[in-house]
Structure 1
Amino acid sequence: MQNIQSATPYAGMPVGIESPRSAVSWGAVIAGAVIAAAVSAMLIVGGTGLGFLAVSPWRQEGASGSALAIGSIVWLLITQIIAYGVAGYVAGRLRTKWTDAAVDEIYFRDTAHGFLVWALSAVVGALLLASAVASAISGTAKAGAALAGAGAGAATAVAGEAARNGADDGSLAYFTDVLLRPNDPALASAPGAPRQEVSRILARSVVQGQLSDEDRAYLTRLVAQRTGVDEATAQQRVTQLTDQARQAAQDAERRAREAADAARKGAAAFSLWAFASLLIGAFVASFAATIGGRSRDR
């Protein structure tokens, strides 16, 4: 004798007979996902316009950076609530009417339809933005690498710039000028000043963190010869200026680390708020679908 699995028969159907129709109304789900994408795009474009209106290139005008960040997060949450609220409600109204399901089952199916609307739109959006995500990941990796090598990178950049441009446009140009500055201003434009050589020596000292004894003695003699000062004064000038060049490289390293750390914190905060907005969108779509489903059945 055949066992009957179902204890509670649905209206109009024999006991133990499964409905041949799927419980998912894919037409309603797809329509809701399209609506969610369209409304989200519309609200994001509108929020971008408001953001451009809030900023200003003039000092003391326009919104501050913190105000723009908070406004962006609030607008992102509002976008999720409106877009998925509308999409979930429409999906609930458009789904087929289930006459063979209990009330609790209908409620579950409506919730599932709203969640499917959110999931489908999220997956499609992720696929469309795959290139942008890949670019962001690449940028994050580069930022991490830049943070790890910020110290060496800052010093190497100073040295490379000086070597390429002969210190005319590099970061060590000022220190080179001070080292070779004569006591007599009339000698300042004397031809043949060894600027490039001095810049290379300074750049090497910045990279290595100290000036070798040979380079220090050579620079002392060179500065004394070019500027007309005694060797004691020249040595004092060399020591002072190499310390200043090394401090400038350390300041550049510190600023690079601070910028990388600020970018890291900003990216982490945005990711967490984006995660929260996605959760809110899933909840709103599921809840709105139950409201639309009840309206559909009435």
Structure 2
Amino acid sequence: MNRPSEHLPATADASSHPTGVSWAAIFAGAAAAAALSLILLLLGFGLGFSAVSPWAGNGISAKGLGISSILWLALTQILAAGLGGYIAGRLRVKWANLHGDEVYFRDTAHGFLAWAVATLVTATLVVGSVSSVIGGGVQAGAQVASAAAGAAPRGAGPAAAQGAPDDYGYFVDSLLRDDRPVAVSEDAARGTVSRIFVRSLSNGGQLLPEDRRYLAQVVAQRTNLSQAQAEQRVDEVFAKTQQAVNEAKQAAREAADSAAKLAAWSSLWMFIALLCGAFFASLAATFGGRRRDAVISLETDLQPRTVAPTPVH
């Protein structure tokens, strides 16, 4: 059974060093906590990937995966921080002639510092990994951009011969537009219609009267419909296109909102998990410190006892 430190006699291994921080014990506990965190995280990744299935209806759901990830993160923090705190408390020096409350506070501080060092080391490793991934992506993008820049001079001649860039294609089409039926190729007609649709949808979804009339003319020329019927078809197709674009925008907004909520909840639960880790590290350090103070040096036990001589009368 552990005994309070204030009732223990001062032994030969009791520290008389003026500082109250055992950095060696703190770094040892932090290393143990970081190593166990890495092991448990790898195990969690393995379990998570084994539970996920690419087939619909199989494997764990997204909600179940999120809850499991949060619980595993909390368990990882509790176990790793508890181990690091216990080691930091067990390996620290023995303080002599200190009140029990002071020893308890120092043990708690040692556990907290071990957790803090382990957290900073883990965060540094994670940030370094993310930075390397981002750096690789930037380097790949730079290589693609360099290749595109090298290919641009070779393609400048054909592009100039074919006409203006797509950004100005709508205005060029408007400049060369003729109200008379003109026989154009299928590809040219599709390109003109696409540019008119893109321009109208990006301009508030309003189809200008002259564009509507020209589209109806192109449709009537290729479908043997009257001008009125062609205009009606243009209105129907443009309305369907506008509806599809609005649905895509709504889906994108919903996805962005879901991602923002997921990021917020993930941050909150990570904050709670880190707080649990700090608490259990400090608590485990007090247990380790008590076990450390319960150890009595063998040198003290094996010292020969001096027996006072009995006076002779």
Q: Which TM-score tier does this pair reach, normalised by the shorter chain?
A: 0.7 to 0.9
| Match of residue 39, structure 1, among 31, 36, 42 | 36
In the other structure, the counterpart of 2:150 is none
Q: Which residue of the other structure, out of 118, 125, 128, is the alignment partner of 1:128? A: 125
Alpha-carbon distance change, 191 to 83 in structure 1, aligned in 2, over 3 angstroms: closer
Residues 281, 136 of structure 1: alpha-carbon distance in 2 compared, 3 angstrom cutoff: farther
Q: CA deviation at 1:221?
A: 1.4
How far the C-alpha of 1:127 sits from its partner, in A, is 2.2
The number of residue pairs the alignment matches comes to 233
Q: Aligned match of 1:75 in 69, 72, 75?
A: 72
| Paired residues for 1:141-290 under 5 Å | 194-208=189-203, 209-290=205-286
Which residue of the partner structure matches residue 62 of structure 2? 65
Q: Deviations over 1:85-117 (max 9, x none)?
A: 111111111010101211110000000000000
Structure ranking higher on relative contact order (CA contacts 8 Å, 6+ apart): 2
- Say if 1:78 and 1:267 are closer, same or farther in 2 by CA, change over 3 A: same
**Structure 2: gaps (5+ residues):** 1-8, 11-15, 135-165, 170-184, 295-313
State the partner residue of 2:304.
Answer: none
Query: Looking at CA atoms only, which structure, 1 or 2, has the larger radius of gyration?
Result: 2
Q: What is the SS of the residue equivalent to 2:206?
A: coil
SS at 1:129's partner residue?
A: helix
TM-score by length of 1: 0.74
Specify every segment of 5 or more residues in structure 1 that has no aligned partner in the other structure, as ranges. 1-10, 13-18, 138-162, 167-189
- Provide the residue aligned with 1:183 in structure 2: none
Q: Deviations over 1:123-146 (max 9, x none)?
A: 222222234566999xxxxxxxxx
SS in structure 2 at match of 1:81: helix
Distance 1:64 1:238 in 2: 44
**CA contact 1:205–1:242 (8 Å) conserved in 2:** no
Report the AA paired with residue 204 of structure 1.
Answer: R
The root-mean-square deviation of aligned C-alpha atoms, in Å, is 2.3
| Superposition TM-score, scaled by structure 2 size | 0.70
Q: In the alignment, what sits opposite 1:107?
A: 104
Q: Distance between the aligned counterparts of 2:102 and 2:261, measured in 1?
A: 44
